[in-house]
Amino acid sequence: MEQLDVEIKEATLVAPSEPTPTHILQLSALDSQPFLRFTIEYLLVYPPCCDHDRAAIAARLKDGLARALVPYYPLAGRVRPQASSSSSLEVVCQAQGAVFIEAVSNVRVYEFERAPHNPDHRRKFLALHVADVLRGPPLVVQLTWLADGAAAVGVGLSHCICDGVGSGEFLNSWSEFVNGRRGLNGPWPKPVWNRHLLDPMQPSTRSVPHPEFERVPDLSRFSTRLPRNRLTPTAICFNRGHLAELKKLALKDKWFDSGRLLGRLGESSYTSFEVLAAHVWRCWVRAMGLADRQIVRLLFSINARKRVEPSLPEGYYGNGFVLGCAQTTVKELREKGLGFAARLVRKAKERVDDDYVRSVVEVVTESRASPDSVGVLILSQWSRLGLEKVDIGLGRPVHVGPICSDIYCLFLPVFNEDDAVKVMLAVPKSVVAKYEHLLRNPK
């Protein structure tokens, strides 16, 4: 493959198309968490078409963005620490604008079918990387025309302002404005700010443990095993048949303790997420060669919008998730099989109720707690955000993924396969072959 080249043609600021409120909005305790102070970066690739009027399409995208920034006007503001507390954040809304970049590249659409060569290989598809969310715009969009007439759209969104669900809603709203399917007074659910709904309340009467924030001994020199310059991205697809096989395998699983059969886990079925998350977790741990007594954890996002009482309103686009935590030792995860791991994932989901969410809010407000990295695999389910539906007048994207592949595991949608999932994860180069073999050969 020839060297990836991206040439920037123009960069402009896009302000809301109509006057928007000028004020300061407070972000919630969940929004202000230190480990969320980064930019979510999406890459959507659209199929080739020789008849595109590139200037007209770029103009439509910018016009649609300006219209979308009216109801989503905080994305045209700037994030800063609150004067009363540097650990809490706020958004200064003065219609400062989002950044829109136009570029061209020598890459062709088929090159996105496989994993990138290194974690930063596709960095240039979002040339403005806002590494510090307190020093840059919350929203950056880059339209890059590819050599074969296809188009890549890179999007950077401040995780302090919106989570995955919220960002997916914004992108689909933008696409509808681009296509003229929405007016500013349309009947769709309007975006809701209301960050006060996740303010700390009366302390829960129930003691709620939070292993996701606890530190554990590093028995495997974990911090030295994942140097970014030695990571290799991987991407493997699981279709409906593969997922069905994993479910069968999990239900057949039996596990023992000190030679005594404890029996099957008593489950009649598992979800696709539960078995695939458990399978990836086990394969990653086994490939990494960690010490038997090392505590390992799988952390994954759980949408809390319907788990709090009362539920968060439709259109709430702030951080409305908490981390589920499945935890065990390397030895148990390896020896007790897929059903054991899937059960841990399910139990982690079941623990998340109103008390749990309110407890997380209390913990992050009082101690600024953040997850440990030792023995941790973090997983995010992008396949359920609606990204594959974002049609900006070029059809649906044939590729959905991150700008950069990292140590975070992503479940991605697969073009034209509603029930399929692409698993993307960067692992140390020395374990790629073993990890991929285990992933493709479940047992």
Residues with catalytic annotation? 159, 391
Strands 139-145 and 417-428: unpaired
First-residue to last-residue Cα distance in the chain: 36
The structure tokens 């960002």 sit at 167
How many other C-beta atoms lie within 10 A of the C-beta of residue 200? 14
d(Cα 322, Cα 387) in Å, to the nearest integer?
21
* The two three-digit tokens of residue 267, written as one number: 């489950």
Rounded to 10°, the helix 272-288/432-440 angle is: 150
Contacts 24+ apart (CB under 8 A), 394-398: 394/46, 394/47, 394/49, 394/52, 394/57, 394/151, 395/46, 395/47, 396/46, 397/44, 397/45, 397/46, 397/153, 398/45, 398/46, 398/47, 398/109, 398/112
State CA 383 to chain mean position distance.
9
Q: What long-range pairs does 391-395 form, CB within 8 A, spacing at least 24?
A: 391/175, 391/179, 392/46, 392/61, 392/64, 392/153, 392/174, 392/175, 392/178, 392/179, 393/57, 393/60, 393/175, 393/178, 393/179, 394/46, 394/47, 394/49, 394/52, 394/57, 394/151, 395/46, 395/47
